Amino acid sequence: MHTFAELTIVFIVLLDLSLAVAGSLSYCIKLVALQGVVAGLLPLLAASGAPHARAVLFAAVIVGLKGAVFPWLLMRARDKSGARKDVEPLISYPASILLCLGAFVAASWLGSRLPLPETHVAWIVPASLATIFTGFLLITTRSKAISQVLGYLVIENGIYIFGLALFVEQPMMVELAILLDVFVAVFVMGIAIFHISREFDHIDTAELSELNDWRRGEYGK
Amino acid sequence: MLLVLLSFVILLASAVAALCLGGRPSRAQDAGAYGAVAASIAGLIPSVQTLLSGRTETLSLPWPVPLGSFSLTLDPLSAFFLVPVFTLTALSAVYGVDYLKAYSGRKPLGLVWAAFNTLTAAMALVFTSSNAVLFMLGWELMAAASFILVLFEHEKAQTRKAAFIYLAAGGAGALLLMAVFALLGSGSATLDFSSFHSPSRAAASAVFLLALCGFGLKAGFIPLHVWLPEAHPAAPSQVSAVMSGVMIKTGIYGIIRILGFLRPWEEWWGWALLIIGAGSCVLGALFALAQHELKRVLAYSSIENIGIILLAAGLGVIGVTRGAPELAALAFAGALLHVFNHSLFKGLLFMGAGSVLHGAGTAELEALGGLSKRMRASAVFFLAGSAAACALPPFNGLAGEFLIYAGALRGINFPASVALAGVAAGLVLAVAGVLAAAAFVRAGGTVFLGEPRSERAAGAHESGPLMLFAMGALALLCLVSGLAAPFLLGPLAFAVSSGFGPLYGFTAGIQGAAPLVYVSAGGLLLLAMAAIAAAKRKVFLRGKKPAEGVTWDCGYAVPTARMQYGASSFSQPLTDFFQPILRKIGQYPVISEYFPGKASFSREAQAVFYNELYAPAAFRIRELAYRFSWLQHGRLQIYIMYIVVTLMGLLLWKL
């Protein structure tokens, strides 16, 4: 019944893996957008029978935001920042993909241990957890601020899929709230990245540590 | 009760109005002052009624806050604290109109009045709320409003430091109070005071200790006082009057309320209160003697008086647990009466200090002198306040202390431990009284007597009519409440009943009457003698012209103002004796030749507890925190890693 949905899950996991090794920023943005669109369509595929009009509308909003608005905002931020066009990872790509695979193994184990209700679609919980881990991986091991936004979006995709696993029919309220947060966050981050790059000529988060107020010289005063 | 509510509404509305009129200072002043006075009158009526009738009124409005309810209770204990709040607020507002005029255009007066009126509303809320959530709301509002007022002269680094310490102390206190209410309210559906039930023995002691520290941080007894001598002098003088006169009493009120929830009491609570109070009143008076700034002298004197109140409360608790009801009743009555009296005379004294600051531009003792010739009325009012603060008849400072002495002396008839407590309390009160008298003779003498020590003091001018009116009214109240002390016993008995228990209120009414009548009679006799002496002087001087000479010329032919005793030299014998505690720093000139050259002398009082206790402790904490600074490297990715690791850890731990 859910073969198509299960194939989609596999596709999402494959997207996670390719995100771990993708080196070009614009390629990463496109991958994240694609993952968002696929995840947005998932409830339509997983639902049994004809989908509700509300679900269709909802999927359309998600696909529109994640497939068009976010990539556009991010591409714009990438172009305006004038920075190098690769993700500048802090660890090597092989290490990234190994970590991503490890995360998938851990997610499979965790998925079997979590006390969750029976799900219709196989592998949906491990896949969602793996997506969340991949998002964290992107956030923690890439130095550009845009990568952090991308990681954040990947985490959101993961949470969305996880929500689907729990309530296949009714993820709407939860998702609506999260989506609003994400929209605002991406918007703010897009502006912030733009301003940071204008002020500092780079968007490398490591350099931002200069802004902290903990100075050795001031100790004890 | 509705009038109390009306008072809240007027205060908050006038606060908003003053804030909106901030662009036009004189309008803002009007809005703030009229609002404060009107609200005070509206608040005084039900408070006085409650005190006279002894009835308790309650009001409960729906309030959709978790665990909260908008419940107000006006019982005699609340009313007893509310009367000074409203009295002092009204007079301070009148005083403030003249006092703040000098700052018009330089300071945001609208904000000052908004904060001032909010402060009064918050205090009234603290004294009337009977729900812990509402209480904490008032408590925090009070801290926030007074914080703004402390920051009045924020351009001075010292003021900013004072405000920061004040904020830190307020936050720490509020944290402890939340623990208190959590412990008291555990197991009940709301945090209404009426639903609190006394916890088991160990928990009750924990509640007592937490409340003592939490409310103590507001009351400002030693060693939790470090913020007080910094923050109170920093605020505008009429605000100092309210803060020192009534705001610190919220701490005392809180301790009494919490004691009411905890039955039965433990004897060691009484000893704890007694010892802290004793330390506070002796050290407070001693530090007051060593200060070089008039408002700081008064701030330390507040610490001393809080000590006296706490000492009396401790004595009362010991009396209750040891079965000595007369002793307890007198001690409780003395404590509450002193709360009332202190608020009047300390308000008066801070306003007097404000007049000095206003007229001479400085409150440094060594720069003042001879102000009684230039500011005659202010000098008389300050003298009245000083006499009250030294517990001299016929002013009101004596009445409360007299009841405490009377209670302490009863202790001799009881077993050893009660007798010990009584004798110790009496001795400590006597020592503190002597030191306080020395401190006020020093402060008043240096400021108002002799010759001016600086040009600013020489050019001092008298304060405006509204300032003088406020001070005069308070001086009169100090005199009247001193002479009419026996008539205050009725309301006092109601307040003691609702605060500590009906038995003690009744006993206090009976037992306190006799000694207070003697005090009042003595005061009247003293007044009569003074009047006779004044009349005699007038008769003798009739038709004669008395010669005028300089004060304190010490036999010199051409004396200068520098030959006078200064504040430091006056107190030197005493401060040298207590040097191990005071730790003044400075240098003496050593004279070794027959014709000594130029010499300099300096003495500086230290904030002993801040320097020796809190600063090292803060340094240690900072040092410890610095050991973990490698965690704080500023790399965003690693911070997010911390969060992920923590979340994963929690997930795996719960699996």
Averaged in consecutive runs of 10 residues, what is the pLDDT profile of chain B (655 residues)?
A: 91 93 88 94 94 90 83 93 95 93 88 94 94 94 94 91 93 94 86 86 91 94 90 92 94 94 90 95 92 93 95 93 88 93 95 93 89 92 94 90 90 86 93 94 91 88 92 95 89 89 74 80 93 94 82 72 82 85 80 82 80 89 87 76 86 78
Cis-peptide, bond into residue B108, ω within 30° of zero: no
Flag whether B201 is in a domain.
no
* pTM (2 d.p.): 0.81
> In this complex, is the C-beta atom of B618 within 8 Å of any C-beta atom belonging to chain A?
no
Is the residue at B111 inside a domain? no
Q: What angle do CA B179, B75, B118 make, to 5 degrees?
A: 65
* Rg of chain A on CA atoms, in Å: 19
Hey, is the C-beta of A139 within 8 angstroms of any chain B C-beta? Answer: yes
Closest CA of chain A from B230, distance in Å: 19
* Residue B523, domain member (yes or no): no
Q: Is B568 part of any domain? A: yes
Examine residue B620 and state whether it is found in any structural domain, yes or no.
Answer: yes
Separation in Å, CA of B649 to nearest CA in chain A: 12
**What confidence score (pLDDT) does residue B165 get?**
92
Q: In Å, how far are A148, B210, B363, B457, B575 from B368, measured between CA atoms?
A: 65, 43, 7, 5, 21
- Beta-carbon contacts of B172 under 8 Å, excluding residues fewer than 6 positions away, are B217
> Is residue A108 within a helix (H) or strand (E), and if so which, with residue range?
helix A93-113
Record: contact A140-B641, CB cut-off 8 A: yes
pLDDT at B159: 92
* pLDDT attached to residue A164: 76
Q: Which of B208, B444, B425 is nearest to B334 (CA)?
A: B425
> What b-and-e string marks burial along B29-67, b requiring 16 or more CB atoms within 10 Å of the CB?
bbbbbbbbbbbbebbbebbeebbeebeebeeeeeeeeee
B602-604/B57-61 β-pairing = unpaired
Q: Facing residues of A144 across strands?
A: A204
| Weakest mean pLDDT among A45-59, A202-216, B486-500 | A202-216
- Residue range A40-59: average pLDDT? 76
Contacts 24+ apart (CB under 8 A), B319-324: B319/B270, B319/B407, B319/B411, B319/B418, B319/B421, B320/B265, B320/B270, B320/B500, B320/B501, B320/B504, B321/B264, B321/B265, B321/B266, B321/B267, B321/B270, B322/B267, B322/B414, B322/B415, B322/B417, B322/B418, B324/B410, B324/B411, B324/B414, B324/B418
Q: What pLDDT is recorded for position A219?
A: 41
User: Does position A183 have pLDDT exceeding 80, yes or no?
Assistant: no
Q: How far apart are CA B31 and CA B19, in angstroms?
A: 9
Evaluate whether residue B574 is within a structural domain.
Answer: yes
Chain B residues touching A214 at Cβ < 8 A: 629, 632, 634
Return the residue of A nearest to B654 by Cα.
Answer: A114
Alpha helices in B59-108 (DSSP H): 76-101
Domain count, chain B: 2
Residue B627 structural domain: 613-654
Pairs of residues, one from chain A and one from chain B, whose beta carbons lie less than 8 Å apart:
41
- Is A142 within 8 Å of chain B by CB? yes
**Which of B636, B640, B651 is closest, CB to CB, to A208?**
B636
Is B367 part of any domain?
no
Q: Could you tell me if A208 lies within 8 Å of chain B, comparing CB atoms?
A: yes
- Flag whether residue B629 sits within 8 Å of chain A, measured between CB atoms: yes
Residue in B622, B629, B637 closest to A139 by CB: B637
DSSP symbol at B589? P
Cβ atoms of residues B357 and B293 within 8 Å:
no
Q: For residue range B572-628, what is the model confidence (pLDDT) as tens digits?
A: 888 888 888 888 877 777 888 888 878 787 777 778 888 888 889 989 998 998 888
- Closest residue on chain B to A221 (Cα): B619
Q: Worst-scoring range by mean pLDDT, A21-25, A194-198, B231-235, B422-426? A: A194-198
Of B622, B632, B637, the CB nearest to A205: B637
Question: Do A33 and A186 touch, CB atoms closer than 8 A?
Answer: no
Cβ distance of A90 and B638 shorter than 8 Å: no
pLDDT in the model for residue B508: 65
Residue B504: other Cβ atoms inside 10 A: 26
Taking CB atoms and an 8 Å limit, are B637 and A90 in contact across chains?
yes
Is B592 at the interface with chain A, CB within 8 A?
no
Contact A140 B651 (CB under 8 A): no
Q: Is the pLDDT of residue A170 over 60?
A: no
Query: Which residues, in sequence order, are CB contacts of B364 under 8 Å at separation 6+?
Result: B292, B293, B294
Would the CB atoms of B636 and A148 count as touching at under 8 Å?
Answer: yes
Residue B171, domain member (yes or no): no
What is the three-class DSSP state of B107? strand
Q: How many alpha carbons lie under 13 Å from residue B5 in its C-beta half-sphere?
A: 11
pLDDT at A218: 43
Q: Is the peptide bond before B223 cis (omega within 30 degrees of 0)?
A: yes
What's the pLDDT at A175? Answer: 65
Task: Provide the Cα torsion B255, B261, B266, B268; round to 10°.
Answer: -10
pLDDT for the residue numbered B579: 84
Q: Does B621 touch chain A (CB under 8 A)?
A: no
Q: How far apart are CA A16 and CA A3, in angstroms?
A: 20
Position A92 scores a pLDDT of 87
**Quick one: pLDDT at residue A140?**
85
